[in-house]
Amino acid sequence: MTYCLAIKTRDGLVMAADSRTNAGLDQVNTCRKMHFLVKKGERAFVLLTSGGLSLSQSVMTLLTRDFENNEGIAAVSSFYEAARQVGYKVREVAAEDRESLEQDGIPFNVHVILGGQIGNQDPDLYLIYPQGNPLRVTQDSPYLQIGEIKYGRPILDRGVKHDETSLEQAAKYALISLDSTMRSNMMVGPPIDLLLYRAGDLEVRCHRRLMADDPQLMAIRTVWEQELRRAARLLPPIQFGE
């Protein structure tokens, strides 16, 4: 299982991913799901992946090979084209593996979130489906999720507004969303990769990898639970008209 999310605010992007990967219930490993492809000062891409690890690795291998040859997303002139390029690689891997997987009842299930920036264009954010088609984030729903998405969604729905939420606040919401998911599904687990991308960075400047016992993560969790209970006490009582 996996949980990755990305938020777009006025000032930039927040992206976050867990690191647990499993084959069945008893073969659990740690694996990085946040990947960087950067030409400093020119373009920066951050990719989050979910689905079969073999599949997302293949997609990343093809994308990285092209990038190092100044092809693919290294060469496109718009973010939409970059999202399409990722979709083409997903389709290339599907052409290789899909039929053999489906023979054994295994779905072709790779999802990718692509965030980043090209030159002086706005930062942008897309989700690429297993069929290769891209979905762009919107102002009304300024976040994208892949993997185990339900536990961590209510806090994003209530907290995140594209025009109002600062980048630093969005990073806190992302952490809480991930922490809530880890608590409810042990197939989502630390370390947490957290990236804060400010418009114009054009490099990876603010990235942290938080272990399970990270003091900041524990402090945030403690304060959050205290404040939730306080908030619940402050709610007006329900009248049953006895």
Q: Which stretch binds its own copies (CB under 8 A): 4-12, 77-85, 111-119, 214-222?
A: 214-222
Backbone angles phi, psi at 230, to 5 degrees: -60, -45
Report 69-98 residues binding its own copies (CB under 8 A): none
The residue (of 105 and 236) whose beta carbon lies closer to its own copies is: 236
Minimum CB separation of residue 1 from its own copies in Å reads 12
Check residue 184 for interaction with its own copies (CB under 8 A).
yes
Per CB under 8 A, the list member of 151, 178, 193, 202 interacting with its own copies is 151
Residues in CB range of 58: below 8 A, 6 or more apart: 93, 96, 97
Q: Which stretch binds its own copies (CB under 8 A): 27-35, 86-94, 130-138, 217-225?
A: 217-225
Size of the site for its own copies (CB under 8 A): 48
What the block records as the tokens of 19 is 């690191």
Q: Which stretch binds its own copies (CB under 8 A): 27-35, 69-77, 123-131, 167-175?
A: 167-175
Question: Long-range contacts for 105-109 (Cβ within 8 Å, ≥24 apart)?
Answer: 106/52, 108/52, 108/55, 109/50, 109/51, 109/52, 109/55
Distance CA 9, CA 144 (A): 12
The residue (of 126 and 173) whose beta carbon lies closer to its own copies is: 173
**Integer CA distances (angstroms), 167 to 70, 80, 124, 214, in order:** 31, 23, 14, 21
Residues near its own copies (CB under 8 A) are: 150-155, 157-159, 168-169, 171-173, 175-176, 180-181, 183-184, 194, 196, 205-208, 216, 219-220, 223-225, 227-242
